[in-house]
């Protein structure tokens, strides 16, 4: 069992799981029970007291690329959920960004500083939209990607970032 669909089949109402990692290793695992299943996530009991489930919290499934099943096929022991990771620009993406820098209208940008600035924005959006790369603008998420100006990298849902959550089956 190594896929999201295998995991969904394994998690049935009544199944107990322990949260062992939440942005850092937990000193005491938190036991939860699966209450409901949906295609986009599962409902877990917030806490278990006296053998009964109390409260409900939803765990929505990330993209399959950000989920990792732990264990060997048949000996499935848990799952991990990762945050979106960053990657460097590809050669194609660098060409697109360099191409925009060559076509920028700096005089229009100066005029936009004195007005609402929208003309330059729409020119930039049009340039990237023609190349199906709106995510390279930085404020638009497209195809699970978004450019990060601070690091010069691309946030990409297909790249695993830091470990967020880890559950093991009880």
Q: What is the band of 59 on the pLDDT scale with cuts at 50, 70, 90?
A: very high
Q: What is the band of 116 on the pLDDT scale with cuts at 50, 70, 90?
A: confident
**The pTM is what?**
0.81
Q: What is the band of 73 on the pLDDT scale with cuts at 50, 70, 90?
A: low
The pLDDT of 66-92, averaged and rounded, is 88
**Which residues lie below 8 Å from residue 119, measured CB to CB, with a gap of 6+?**
108, 111, 112
Residue spans of the domains in the chain: they are: 4-85+159-169, 90-151
**Which residues lie below 8 Å from residue 77, measured CB to CB, with a gap of 6+?**
70, 71, 168, 169
């Amino acid at each position: 069992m190594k896929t999201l669909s295998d995991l969904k089949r394994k998690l049935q109402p009544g199944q107990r799981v322990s949260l062992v990692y939440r942005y850092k290793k937990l000193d005491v695992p938190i036991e939860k029970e699966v209450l409901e299943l949906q295609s986009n996530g599962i409902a877990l009991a917030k806490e278990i007291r006296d053998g009964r489930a109390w409260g409900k919290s939803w765990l929505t499934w990330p993209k399959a690329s950000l989920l990792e099943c732990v264990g060997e096929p048949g000996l499935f022991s848990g799952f991990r959920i990762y945050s979106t990771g960053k990657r460097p620009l590809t050669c194609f993406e660098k060409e697109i960004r360099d191409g925009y820098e060559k076509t920028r209208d700096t005089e229009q940008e100066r005029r936009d500083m004195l007005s609402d600035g929208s003309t330059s924005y729409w020119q930039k959006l049009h340039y990237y939209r023609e190349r199906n790369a709106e995510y390279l603008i930085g404020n638009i998420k497209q195809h699970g990607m978004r450019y990060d100006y601070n690091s010069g990298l691309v946030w990409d849902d297909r790249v695993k970032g830091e470990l967020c959550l880890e559950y093991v089956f009880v």
